[in-house]
Amino acid sequence: MSLETDFIVIGSGVAGLRASIELAASGGRVAVLTKDKASESNTEYAQGGVAVVLSDDDNPELHEGDTLVAGAGLCDEQAVETLVTEGTKYIKQLIEWGGEFDREGGKLVFTQEAAHSRRRIIHAHGDSTGAEFVRSLIARAGQEKTINLTPFANTESLIVRDGRCVGVRFLDPVLRQPREIYAKAVVMATGGAGQLYQHTTNPPVATGDGMAMAYFAGAEMADMEFIQFHPTALNLEKAPRFLLSEAMRGEGGILKNKYGERFMPRYDERAELAPRDIVARSIVAEMRRTGTRTVFLDMTALDEVFLKHRFPKIYETCKFYSLDIAKDMLPVSPASHYCMGGIRTDLWGRSTLPGLYAAGEVTCTGVHGANRLASNSLLEGLVFGARAGAAAAAAADSSELIVLSSESKTEELKTRNSKLGTELATAVKKRVKRIMWERVGILRDKDSLKRAIKEFDQIAAGNLSTSSRNFVTLARLVATSALWREESRGGHYRNDFPEQEDKFKVHSIQRLDTEISAAKSINFSRQVGV
């Protein structure tokens, strides 16, 4: 039996929860589906903080300027302006809802991170800002009686009729069988795809299923080649790539090579506070120069009491692995961290597929351009989650709830390979992750990218489950767009094309069964011809 509701939200990170709250305010019924527990998302693992204009010596123009510089010429200026101006309002609202951020003497504590010109980063419980976002938003969503949150409901595909998204197919967590649920609008907020890579700071749920589902349903994808690699992930054998926050360098942490030498000033005058893409490539270059697989983050010049208070979670995690951040050099190396590309949306979260809205890391709004400015991601999820929810609610007034008949549903499922099975095969996952790390990683070139695409095609030719097909398809989208972009910009670096090229100051657009194309603007609602 099919289920019906007014709105479906896929994902329970900051973007999904904020969209749900906005949708509930319209009086509609909201079904929130998430493939793990409600709190398990990339939001939960965000440590550094959230960038927001709240201090006396800051203003939106400065925040916008820093974001545009980091984005390496590909930010949508209107999207960035929306982020920095509305961000202040939504953070204040979150605080009114009970969000607790660190204070001294009753005043918010502001810190600085790489590529920011002001101390505008607020944080919660030292290094657990994302967890506080989730806690406060789940508490606020719990006050809305029309929000129905269903954990462990793995969404498999979108249901499209007459060119419109009308629902989703998911695995019922109780019955363990596929079911369909229909609504007037669907909001995709499934987060990023860091798990595409062998080494990542992302949790296991970050496999990019939402991007792949939207792509197979016919939505356009943008800027998939731009992957941000966090420079400092804990690099210990048999330990997860735990994120050592950008804020650690912002507070004075120094990067050193195996000889104990500080090396970043040789690569960039901003040293440890250079944008993430530059720091990550500099670390790779230094590891190659010294013949090692790690460098070290040195925090020993800072006071131990301060470090315990400022980075409690990082302190305890490192202690678990017999490292004292106040006394020991911390072994680090880059790991995949954030996707700048994703589902192409306008400023209100509308995708190119009617009925499908999206917000957060699963999207490409143009906010981040070619390289995300540190601590802008939580703000993006909050601002554009609210905007996507508002737009979906407004459009629902004139939308009709469409439920497919049994015959229609059978025909619908024939339109794409939808083999039953939502588990991502271990063999496929390992092979794709290795190929992505070795051939579509921090440093890229034509031959490696072509070999990666060939291998992905071989994998895709097999008899795959839906999740496995999603995974390899997404990897191929990243590799294909990386091959197309014959320049180096932001999170995309080509050894064979090391310079920026004006002709590539455009966005890559990919759509099912079509060649890759270019667009001058992400915001398709006001795009001019290219």
> Using one digit for the tens of pLDDT, what is the confidence trace for 137-176?
999 999 999 999 999 999 999 999 999 999 999 999 888 8
What's the pTM value of the predicted model, to 2 decimals? Answer: 0.92
Q: How far is residue 498's CA from residue 505's CA, in Å, rounded to a whole number? A: 15
Domain for residue 193, yes or no? Answer: no
Q: How far is residue 342's CA from residue 218's CA, in Å, rounded to a whole number? A: 13
Domain for residue 138, yes or no? Answer: no
Averaged pLDDT score across all residues of the chain: 91
Domain for residue 153, yes or no? Answer: no
Domain for residue 262, yes or no? Answer: yes
Is the pLDDT at 314 greater than 50, yes or no?
A: yes
Domain for residue 257, yes or no? Answer: yes
The answer to whether 72 and 485 are in contact (CB under 8 A) is no
The gap between the terminal CA atoms of the chain, to the nearest Å, is 47
What would you measure as the largest C-alpha separation in the chain, in angstroms? 69
Active-site residue set: 276
Domain for residue 36, yes or no? Answer: no
Is the pLDDT at 399 greater than 90, yes or no?
A: no
Please give the pLDDT value at position 413. 43
Residue 219 CB contacts under 8 Å (≥ 6 apart), including other chains = 343, 344, 351, 352, 353, 356, 511
By the 10 Å C-beta count (0-12 exposed, 13-18 middle, 19+ buried), 70 is classed as: buried
Bridge partner residues of 262 (DSSP) = 256
Domain for residue 396, yes or no? Answer: no
Can you spell out the DSSP letters for 464-521?
--HHHHHHHHHHHHHHHHHHH--S-BTTB-BTTB-S--GGG-SEEEE-TTS--EEES-
Q: How far is residue 497's CA from residue 489's CA, in Å, rounded to a whole number? A: 10
One-letter amino acid for residue 85 of the chain:
T
What is the average per-residue pLDDT within 69-95?
97
Pairing outcome for strands 295-298 and 330-339: antiparallel
Domains: count for the chain: 1
User: Residues of 346-356 as b/e, b for ≥16 C-beta within 10 angstroms?
Assistant: bbbbbbbbbbb
Is the pLDDT at 424 greater than 90, yes or no?
A: no
Please give the pLDDT value at position 235. 96
What would the two tokens of residue 465 be? 């489950």
Can you give the residue range of the structural domain that contains 282? 234-335
CATH code: domain of residue 292: 3.90.700.10
Q: How far is residue 125's CA from residue 481's CA, in Å, rounded to a whole number? A: 39
Residue found under tokens 């979108």: 158
Domain for residue 288, yes or no? Answer: yes
Region class of 329: left (phi > 0), else alpha (psi between -120 and 50), else beta:
beta
**CA triple 169-174-176, angle to 5 deg:** 55
Is the pLDDT at 37 greater than 90, yes or no?
A: no
Q: How far is residue 112's CA from residue 106's CA, in Å, rounded to a whole number? A: 19
Please give the pLDDT value at position 528. 35
Residue 402 CB contacts under 8 Å (≥ 6 apart), including other chains = 161, 164, 166, 167, 182
